[in-house]
Amino acid sequence: MNEKQELVAVRDLSLGFTENENFIEIIDSLSFSIFPGESVGLVGESGCGKTLTALSLIKLLPSPYVKITQGKVLFRGNDILTMPLDALREIRGREIGFIFQNSNESFNPTKKIGYQISEPLRIHFPGLQKSEVYEKSILMMKKAGIAEPEKIYKEYPHALSPGTLRRVTIVTAMIAQPDLLIADEPATTPDITIQAQIIDLIKTLQQEFKMTFFLISHNPCMAAELCKKIIVMYSGRIVEIALKNTLFHTSLHPYTKGFFSSIPRLAHKGSGLKSIRGSLPPPGAFLRGCRFMPRCNRKIKKCNKKIPPPLFLVGPDHYVACWLFEKMGRK
């Protein structure tokens, strides 16, 4: 791949944390690309390293607890991980917007909503008049389907319903019209009606602003709704990358097949859900070779190697990290 054409290029990223004086690796040699205008989803079970991957893209990892041991995160060819703080501040909010997983923790409870929504405009567009900042904020709130935006603008976060607060989170991430929007579980709510509304909202705004979109989710169906390309992650490693139609109809990695088979479907009503035997291992118990091998029902002798399988190219834009497909693919 030509890195000059990529908006984001993650190369051999590895990170972990120290516990009881032992370093525990979580993410191992992660590499993927996001091109301008693409919509990419990163999916996997909770605890596999998705959020840490997303936070790496804007260097917001909980330091010093999490340490990057190798790799690069290139944004327009510049390494985010070695970038000075002043340069990072110019990018955060202006060129890269981030929708955080928990709306309640995304806002300062002592500041009014309007102050927090308009902050990216005040920071990155200091030439704007107060009236312009207000008008742009109200307009974006209307686009996000927020009722009575002038009233919400003057409220504090605690006064808003979960659905409205989630919409405000999206507005804050998009107010400066960033080139890349990262969304970490943007529609996580027990109310499926609100969830559907948030998904529709993101799709509408994504199409209107033609932004590059990177979704983090444990739900592959949500990724299929919002993204054209999906990256499947297991225990800190990528196991498969493909366009969504390919992945849903002809996925190859045993984990991907099992993960997608566990999704509830109306067509399977009464037949029970399929499951993958075992459970996701804790970071300290990750294997040096294929980390899925203990749960795999298709393992072969080569899977016992201490060398992890690389991503093999097995079709157009289709990569799979599994020794079963070594002969049909190329690195």
In tens, the pLDDT along 274-293 reads 778 888 888 888 888 999 99
Model confidence at 1, in pLDDT bands (50, 70, 90)?
Answer: very low
* pLDDT > 90 in the chain, percent: 67
Model confidence at 38, in pLDDT bands (50, 70, 90)?
Answer: very high
Segment 61-65 shows an average pLDDT of 83
Q: What confidence tens digit (pLDDT) does each residue in 84-94 have?
A: 999 999 999 99
pLDDT given for residue 4 in this prediction: 52
Model confidence at 2, in pLDDT bands (50, 70, 90)?
Answer: very low
Model confidence at 310, in pLDDT bands (50, 70, 90)?
Answer: very high
Model confidence at 331, in pLDDT bands (50, 70, 90)?
Answer: low
Within the chain, strands assigned E span 8-19, 22-34, 39-43, 66-75, 78-79, 96-99, 180-184, 212-217, 229-234, 237-243, 312-315, 318-320
pLDDT given for residue 47 in this prediction: 87
Q: Which of these ranges, 45-54, 72-81, 201-210, has the smallest mean pLDDT?
A: 201-210
Segment 197-213 shows an average pLDDT of 89
- Is the pLDDT assigned to residue 123 strictly greater than 90? yes
Chain mean pLDDT for the chain: 90
Terminal-residue alpha carbon distance, the chain: 12
Residue 210: burial class (beta carbons within 10 Å; 0-12, 13-18, 19+): exposed
DSSP state at residue 99: E
CB 70 within 8 A of CB 141: no
Helix (H) and strand (E) counts in the chain: 11, 12
pLDDT given for residue 188 in this prediction: 72
Model confidence at 5, in pLDDT bands (50, 70, 90)?
Answer: confident
How, if at all, do strands 78-79 and 237-243 pair?
Answer: unpaired
